[in-house]
Structure 1
Amino acid sequence: MNYKKILVVVLVAVTMFFITRYGVKNIFFPYKYKEYVDKYSEEYNVDPLLVLAVIRGESNFDPKAESNKGAKGLMQIMDSTGKWIAEEIGIEEFTPDMLFNEETNIRLGCWYLKNLEGEFGSLDLILAAYNAGSGHVTKWLKDERYSPNGDVLTYIPFAETKKYVDKVKTNYNVYKHFYQ
């Protein structure tokens, strides 16, 4: 008997079991950390489904995730950004290790999304700034090669940022489909 065929059949059966039992949305687009996502998205007036889409795109819900650039936790916040946000919202004695705490990370991430919304307005710009930094987005908006009017980006010069914006927007649309 061909063991590869048996393995494929077993994998398909196991996959179908989990999809049937837990549903596609709960496996691939879960609403994890609901208590914190709901609490801080409401406090900072950010769509909780956007928060979930960012978390899925940034860390795939791994609270211990750390990027090769040093971004930490669920929403992949840099130490310097975390320190700045903590000062802005009154968290005393901030340490970078606090970014691995689910509640703290989601709180800071929600505040940061709201702050970027106030600075840039549109979802594409918010997500580009979340990934590349607001300084880059501001610079791109002033460059005719990337923005014809200073309000919209027609080209994102960082391929990683373009890919990130597309991924999070796709996640967001799927979350809206499943949870609205």
Structure 2
Amino acid sequence: MYFYSWKDDVMRKIVYPLQYDYMVRQYAYEDHVDPALVAAVILVESKFNQSAASHRGASGLMQIMPDTGKWIAEEMGIKNFTPDQLNDVQTNIRMGTWYLAYLLKEYDGNTVLALAAYNAGRGHVDEWMEKYGWDKNFEKIEEIPFTETREYVKMVLLKRERYKALYNF
């Protein structure tokens, strides 16, 4: 028994951290998104590094592109948005969680398609759906044409399950 609690504690602190737990849970609750999914996206996107930046220009914990951030801000009614705000932890989690909820709704709750769109963009996912005849019940991760996106979806789904187990989501 002692070993298992020690192991879980190490997993929580080192492998599956959950910084900003309150914000993750709050915005996930508000947007009706699984908080374990939000935590997994943050872990895969930035490893909870609030100043993470990609070579493509994505910023913050949830690695939001400036143009996507501008669109999200407009949809959410956020006034005077600037891309610098994506480096603010609370703003980034709030907007990223809202965007995940939007994508889940867009793809009828299909987590695989929503995550693929989060990573590769809605345009690519919509194109793949048309080109390959996928419907909103799509689950064949191995058929995702972009290697990076395919691996991203797998990683987020795996990490979501670990977060559920470790944090009682």
- Are 1:40 and 2:27 an aligned pair? yes
Whether the 8 Å CA contact 1:40–1:106 is kept in 2: the answer is yes
Aligned to 1:13: none
One-letter identity of the residue aligned with 1:136:
H
One-letter identity of the residue aligned with 1:57:
V
Distance in 1, matches of 2:74 and 2:157, equals 29
| Cα displacement (A) at 1:39 | 1.5
1:166/1:69 Cα in 2 relative to 1: closer, same or farther (>3 Å)? same
Higher relative contact order (CA 8 A, sep 6+): 2
Aligned to 1:74: 61
**Which aligned pairs between 1:23-172 and structure 2 lie closer than 5 A?**
23-120=10-107, 121-144=109-132, 147=133, 149-151=134-136, 152=138, 154=140, 155-172=143-160
| Cα displacement (A) at 1:26 | 2.1
| Cα displacement (A) at 1:100 | 0.5
Note the residue ranges of structure 2 that are not aligned, 5 or more in a row.
1-5
One-letter identity of the residue aligned with 2:135:
G
Aligned to 1:5: none
Which sits farther off after the overlay, 32-41 or 66-75?
32-41
Between the aligned residues of both structures, percent identity stands at 48
SS of equivalent to 2:131: coil
Aligned-CA RMSD value = 1.6
1:50/1:153 Cα in 2 relative to 1: closer, same or farther (>3 Å)? closer
Whether the 8 Å CA contact 1:140–1:153 is kept in 2: the answer is no
| Cα displacement (A) at 1:23 | 2.2
Greater than 4 Å deviation, 4+ residue runs: none
Which sits farther off after the overlay, 124-133 or 32-41?
32-41
| Cα displacement (A) at 1:25 | 1.7
| Cα displacement (A) at 1:174 | 0.9
Distance in 2, matches of 1:169 and 1:39, equals 21
Note the residue ranges of structure 1 that are not aligned, 5 or more in a row.
1-18
